[in-house]
Amino acid sequence: AAGALLAGGLILYDICVIGGKTTGLTTSFFAGPIDTLLLFRNFFFFGLPFFLFGKLIRHSNFAQKPLPNLAYALGIPGLCALALVEQYYWGVLELYCGSILLAFLLMHLALCHPLSQGGTLVGLLGWLGQNTSLTIYIVHIYFLDLFRDQYWANFSWQYEPGIYHLIPIGVFLASLLVGVAVGLA
């Protein structure tokens, strides 16, 4: 079911963008805001499959099937490059197979090669992941909207690296601070 939902999300979005001739924030295919489509797609076709794959990983022998180290060494940079190429050719609102496959490869790496003997830094990162990831996932969209609105109100659009490109870092750090506060509480 999770695989079908994931494939369905890719197919639905490609049909809407390619067949619907997206213009601005609307698409003629659905004759409605593309933002609504993105929210629906993100939850139902991508959020839910990742949660279902998490359950599948927990209740299967996924972690007992290690890949050769070369698969990680080639797969991680290769899938990063694929996601960048996809973004270059299809824009920032598209879905990237490279990113999705990279997430599953990294999950596999983390499960097959846990860093249980890593010391304080690994313990801190483990605590952060365990206690902040859900909060970051929930509140990041608030900070994204807030920071983008502030940017558009105070700066002109820029293509070269600058303040606009720092927004994702600010969103993550603000969300992380809220996640740490919730985790400590």
| pLDDT at site 179 | 94
pLDDT of residue 45: 63
Backbone angles phi, psi at 20, to 5 degrees: -90, -5
Residue 174 has pLDDT above 80, yes or no: yes
Taking each helix axis from N to C end, the angle separating 48-58 and 2-14, rounded to the nearest 10 degrees, works out to 160
Residue 26 main-chain phi, psi, to 5 deg: -125, 160
pTM listed for this prediction: 0.57
Q: Check if the beta carbon of residue 164 is closer than 8 Å to that of residue 156.
A: no
User: Per-residue pLDDT tens for 18-65?
Assistant: 555 444 444 434 444 455 556 566 666 667 777 777 777 777 777 677
Structural contact between residues 19 and 29, judged by C-beta atoms closer than 8 angstroms: yes
pLDDT score, position 36: 54
Residue 66 corresponds to which tokens in the numbers above? 């290690």
pLDDT tens for 109-128 read 888 877 766 778 888 888 88
Q: Go through 143-173 and write b for each residue having 16 or more CB atoms within 10 A of its CB, e for each that does not.
A: bbeebeeebeeeeeeeeeeeebeebeebbee
Please say whether the beta carbons of 68 and 105 come within 8 A: no
